[in-house]
Structure 1
Amino acid sequence: MANTPLLQLSGLRKSYNLGQPNAAEVLHGIDLRIGAGEFVALIGPSGSGKSTLLNILGLLEPATDGSYQLQGAEMAGLGDAALTRRRREALGFVFQFHHLLPAFTALENVTLPALMATGRVTAGERARAEELLAAVGLADALHKRPGELSGGMQQRVAIARALVHGPALVLADEPTGNLDTASSQAVFELLRAIHAERGTAFVLVTHDPRLAARCDRVVELVDGRIANDGPPPG
């Protein structure tokens, strides 16, 4: 693992409804270090805090206490504009539901992050989006809308969109959970191929033990604490 980790959490805690009778702490002092280029599964039962932890890693919500360093910079205390910039520069997201815009073509959906960031899409950004769609097997579907694509193909568009700005880390929340077995395997193999070819780090939340077993490292969260962290068993 690299001396300077891609991300490092130290004593990270998350509580909701602070100061109210129903206050609850859901993450209890998480220490986690992930190096550049790692492929990590995050597993655990429902209610263990996986989604909360992923939201914090994705700078979508703040921790209540503790430290989160991303690429060596502390994230705690940053304002909304700085967090948005860091999220846009360093992170990519793939969700169980692809969140594609139905009126946009596959190509337009992939270039959407650039459009939202600057209000326009350059020729270079469009070319990169076309290259990524070809890389995920959709060279012939650039101008098709989501409704014309299968579930697995839509998820491939979402993966291309997550990669279009060259993030160091992709956070994938049950990316195969809404797909049939064959499509699930194909999407997972695509993620592993992207990891191998581009060196992109992945944190993959999954309930599927078969997928977790094919990751390089498995972090198990139980009741808001890391119960196990290491290579998959076997």
Structure 2
Amino acid sequence: MTMHATELLSLRGLRKAYNVGQPNEVEVLHGLDLRLDQGEFVALIGPSGSGKSTLLNILGLLERPTGGEHHLLGQAVQDLGDDELTRLRREALGFVFQFHHLLPAFTALENVTMPALVRDGHVGSAQRARGQSLLEAVGLADAMDRRPAQLSGGMQQRVAIARSLMLEPALILADEPTGNLDTASSDEVFRLLRQVHGQGRTAFLIVTHDPRLAARCDRVIELVDGRLARDERTKPAA
């Protein structure tokens, strides 16, 4: 029996322009059609100025498109109000950035459980236990009580990855997650992303300029001048 993939998000004719109605109006994304399914591990590549950051902001529900349709987990995103967008972002998405954005005054465990604190107003025993298990999963069982300044760059990024998974999102958006690391740390963090991906049904969309890392994803989407230039399945490298 053939198993059908479950759609996570879809874009149909998605457009994004800035300074709409002004003499300097410029359209950055030109009618994108894209589908991501649950559990995919996808690289998003493209030259600077291709629209990757704009697309990521739209997928992260941080910006609204100026045209087309955007569905996430079956919801028509373009029809949602700001409060509904905030709720959906919090419940469905996790974020990993080039710079870890950890809070320096808090321990690794406190940073990981911060999304639960923001959502619920407190961190209960169940959330604390999940934070501990996530730090164990990323190899930081012995560093839970350390503050970011006491961790290496690669370790800080591992904390950020654990934090992104705290609320069990359907999709992780990772913007150059290894871009601030040396080659060894970069490979370590990428291996961790693949490992975490293999343990659940969370999908990953990873923006990268590193062709080595893109080749190790299951699918590569290339954006050029605000249009999809390539969308192909790849065989992950060992």
TM-score, normalised to structure 1, is: 0.97
In the alignment, which of 174, 177, 194 is matched to residue 175 of structure 1? 177
Distance 2:76 2:168 in 1: 21
Shift of 1:114: 1.0
Shift of 1:2: 4.0
Instruction: Write out the 4+ residue segments of structure 1 that deviate beyond 3 Å after TM superposition.
Output: 1-4
Shift of 1:117: 1.3
Distance 2:156 2:81 in 1: 33
Distance 1:195 1:136 in 2: 12
Partner residue in 2 for 1:13? 15
Partner residue in 1 for 2:36? 34
For the Cα contact (< 8 Å) 1:4–1:72, is it kept in 2? no
Once the two structures are superposed, the pairs formed by residues 206-225 of structure 1 within 5 Å of their partners are 206-225=208-227
Partner residue in 1 for 2:61? 59
1:114-165 Cα distance to aligned partner (Å, 9 max, x none): 1111211111001000000000000001110000000000000000000011
Count of residue pairs the alignment pairs up? 234
**Residue segments in structure 2 that go unaligned for 5+ positions in a row:** none
Distance 2:99 2:6 in 1: 33
Partner residue in 2 for 1:127? 129
1:14-69 Cα distance to aligned partner (Å, 9 max, x none): 00011111110000000000111100000000000001001100101111111110
Distance 2:52 2:217 in 1: 17
Partner residue in 1 for 2:201? 199
Partner residue in 1 for 2:168? 166
For the Cα contact (< 8 Å) 1:110–1:161, is it kept in 2? yes
Distance 1:213 1:230 in 2: 11
3-state SS of 1:171 partner: strand
Partner residue in 2 for 1:148? 150
3-state SS of 1:42 partner: strand
**Coordinate RMSD, CA, aligned:** 1.3
Distance 1:61 1:173 in 2: 16
Distance 1:136 1:2 in 2: 31
Distance 1:159 1:101 in 2: 14
Distance 2:106 2:65 in 1: 35
Shift of 1:3: 5.1
Instruction: Letter of the 1:138 partner, please give it.
Output: L
Distance 1:91 1:16 in 2: 25
For the Cα contact (< 8 Å) 2:5–2:38, is it kept in 1? no
Partner residue in 2 for 1:89? 91
Distance 1:134 1:80 in 2: 35
For the Cα contact (< 8 Å) 1:14–1:25, is it kept in 2? yes
In the alignment, which of 85, 96, 114 is matched to residue 112 of structure 1? 114
Distance 2:182 2:157 in 1: 12
> Against the structure 1 CA distance between its residues 206 and 86, is the aligned structure 2 distance closer, same or farther, given a 3 Å change threshold?
same
Shift of 1:199: 2.4
Q: Percent identity?
A: 70
Partner residue in 2 for 1:186? 188
Distance 2:95 2:153 in 1: 17
Distance 1:158 1:227 in 2: 31
For the Cα contact (< 8 Å) 1:10–1:30, is it kept in 2? yes
